[in-house]
Amino acid sequence: MRWVIGLPALWLLVLLAAPLAIVAVIALAVPADGIPPYDLGFNLDNLSLVATDPLYRDALLRSLRVAGVSTLICLLMGFPMALAISRAAPRWQNALLLAVMLPFWTGFLMRINAWIGILADDGLIARMLGTRLLYTDAAMYIGIVYTYLPFMVLPVYARLSRLDPTLTEAAADLGAPPWRVFLRIILPLSLPGIAAGVALVFVPAIGEYVIPALLGGPQAQLIGKVLWDEFFANRDWPTASAVAVWLLLVLVVIPGSIVRAIRWLRPDRA
């Protein structure tokens, strides 16, 4: 029976730990002409290059900003959606949830290509606004928010739908106007859902390279695109791996500290 218990551990080892270890090993290797294009060793040059070279640093910072802004927009749009769905009549809730998930039934690239048509210079929206949209930051944000919004709505909804409605009644009964019921009861009690939604949007958004490449402008690079280019265009595996290592550090450290901050900020120690 022991091996049955060991199976999940083996699974984790093969599918998670081993690939991470391989990336880390390559990040410490020296670039070389050959197959594979590196010589094993222990060399911190790649990691320090990625940390100090403005190309990588700026791409990483810009990715953080894009992911942060996208996550914020998703939260501001997704929370009211989740709240509305959780407050809708029970027979409507499943239909509304289905509408949130409906885009997943079509291929991701097809949906992004559809946005190219919608946002194109001779498209309806660009003409109405009288401005260019496609290949700008605005188009990139539209694409990212559109793609990741369901990942914010669903966990927040899951939390809100389990919120006992008598808690909000009790708060109103004790004299709290609706906005204060929201701030003191609904928002704090939905924080775990918000944290899950933020993580589910922020983490993939920071490494996103397809949407910026298809909808965004050529001017500024995001870290996902840099990684792609190092790996496939420059065939510089050690540098690409070093970028990946730094990205992973940022992804683990930032959401981790957000979760910690939320726990610390919870107004439950009054």
Partner 1 sequence: MTASPFLTVSNLFVRYGSATALDHLDLDVRRNELFVLLGASGSGKTTLLRCLGGFVRPDGGRIILNGADMTGLPPHRRPVNTMFQSYALFPHMSVAANISFGLRQRGATRAETQQRVAEMLSLVRLEGFGARRPGELSGGQQQRVALARSIAPNPALLLLDEPLSALDQALRMDTRAELVRLRRELGISFVLVTHDQDEALEMADRIGVMQNGRMVQIGTPAELYEAPANRFVASFLGAANILSCVVAADGVSVALPGLGVSVRAEQPGAPGPGLLALRSERLRIGGAAQPNQVEGVVTGCVYAGDALAVTVRLADGLVLRVKRSLADGLDSARLEPGSPVRVGWQPDACILLPE
Contact residues: partner 1, CB under 8 A: 164, 166-167, 169-178, 180-181, 184-185, 188-189, 266-270
Closest CB 87 distance from partner 1, rounded Å: 15
What's the CA gap between 223 and 243, in Å, rounded?
A: 8
Q: CA dihedral defined by 61, 65, 68, 69, rounded to 10 degrees?
A: -170
What residues contact residue 185 under an 8 Å CB cut-off, 6+ apart? 167, 168, 171, 176
Closest CB 168 distance from partner 1, rounded Å: 9
What's the CA gap between 136 and 177, in Å, rounded?
A: 42
Closest CA to 190 of 83, 265, 69, 67: 83
**Which of residues 8 and 177 has its CB atom nearest to partner 1 in the complex?**
177
Q: Is 124 exposed, middle or buried (0-12, 13-18, 19+ CB in 10 A)?
A: exposed
Closest CA to 134 of 149, 144, 146, 122: 122
**Which of residues 128 and 174 has its CB atom nearest to partner 1 in the complex?**
174
Closest CB 195 distance from partner 1, rounded Å: 14
Closest CB 179 distance from partner 1, rounded Å: 11
**Which of residues 80 and 178 has its CB atom nearest to partner 1 in the complex?**
178
Closest CB 188 distance from partner 1, rounded Å: 5
**Which of residues 2 and 269 has its CB atom nearest to partner 1 in the complex?**
269
Closest CB 162 distance from partner 1, rounded Å: 12
- The DSSP secondary structure of 11-58, one letter per residue, reads HHIIIIIHHHHHHHHHHTSEE-SSSSSEE-----HHHHHHHH-HHHHH
**Which of residues 260 and 266 has its CB atom nearest to partner 1 in the complex?**
266
H or E segment at 181? Answer: helix 178-181
**Which of residues 91 and 269 has its CB atom nearest to partner 1 in the complex?**
269
